[in-house]
Amino acid sequence: MNRTFSVAATLGLAAGFMLASPLMAQPAPPAAPKPLSMILTASNSYVSLAGKVTEDPAENRRRIDQLAEAEGVRSVFRVTGYDPQVSIVHSPSGLVCTNPRVLFIPKAPTPAVFDSSAQSGCISIVQGHQLDQIVLPNAHGLTIGTVMDLLVGQARKEQTGMEELAGRRISGSNGSTRMILGTNGEPRYLHLAVGFARGWVVEVKTRCTYEGAAQCDQIADQSLADTLAMMAKPESQGGLAR
């Protein structure tokens, strides 16, 4: 099921649906987290959603091909592996998405300057938690502190009421912070980790209930480290962001 949205929309990603996929390498936790959401301003984004998983390997392979061939995203994403896990690469940056359930890119041409809303990337589920991997161009000349400020501001725009917790960390060219959103008395937690690769800003976010915060922190920080290492390899064939 591939969709290209023309109006603003909220993508509700139910963890129960995603964990049913045999493409996921990680075992499901004892209790699946409640559905979380990633907010995309879909009026300026192409969004492709993975279709329903079946018991037919050939059909699942076609489903993955269709995920990367949807309108808009097919110009920048390509499938590079199916087994033992699916790999889809964002060709301009070299970002590798493992077992993605959602792909997205901006509709508008790449801006000439850094724009925190010009996000390309993918969404998957890792150990029961939503993982967003995002790249943004035109990072040259920006400090990690400036980028963190802009991305925290973008997160607040996407979800009203989202607030940054104390304890932002910056180490060299990498940074991370934690944010929380109170929803009907049950807080939602977001860990945001950021780095640079080949002129791109790399943003990794994990989303969970507050009880899963420690695991969210570990997943985001490890995913950022793995993503930066992968994008740094010459064989990633990612382009330099201007």
pLDDT digits (tens, 9 = 90+) for 179-225: 999 766 667 899 999 999 988 999 999 999 888 899 999 999 999 99
Alpha-carbon distance of 38 to 10, in angstroms, equals 7
pLDDT number for residue 97:
95
What is the identity of the amino acid at 10?
Answer: T
pLDDT(22) > 50: no
Strands 102-106 and 45-49, bridge-based pairing = antiparallel
pLDDT(242) > 90: no
**108-112, 173-177, 178-182: least confident range:** 108-112
pLDDT number for residue 224:
96
pLDDT, tens only, 125-169: 999 899 999 999 988 889 999 999 999 999 999 888 899 999 999
74 or 17, which is more confident? 74
pLDDT number for residue 123:
95
pLDDT number for residue 38:
45
* 121-133 CB burial, b ≥16 within 10 A, e <16: bbbbbbbbbbbbb
pLDDT number for residue 73:
93
Tokens of 39: 């907010």
pLDDT number for residue 4:
36
pLDDT number for residue 111:
77
CA distances from 160 to 1, 7, 68, 155, 179 (A): 29, 19, 31, 8, 12
Please provide residue 43's backbone torsions phi and psi, each rounded to the nearest 5 degrees.
-65, -20
pLDDT number for residue 40:
52
pLDDT number for residue 109:
75
pLDDT number for residue 84:
77
pLDDT number for residue 115:
93
pLDDT number for residue 183:
64
pLDDT, tens only, 70-95: 988 999 999 998 877 889 999 999 99
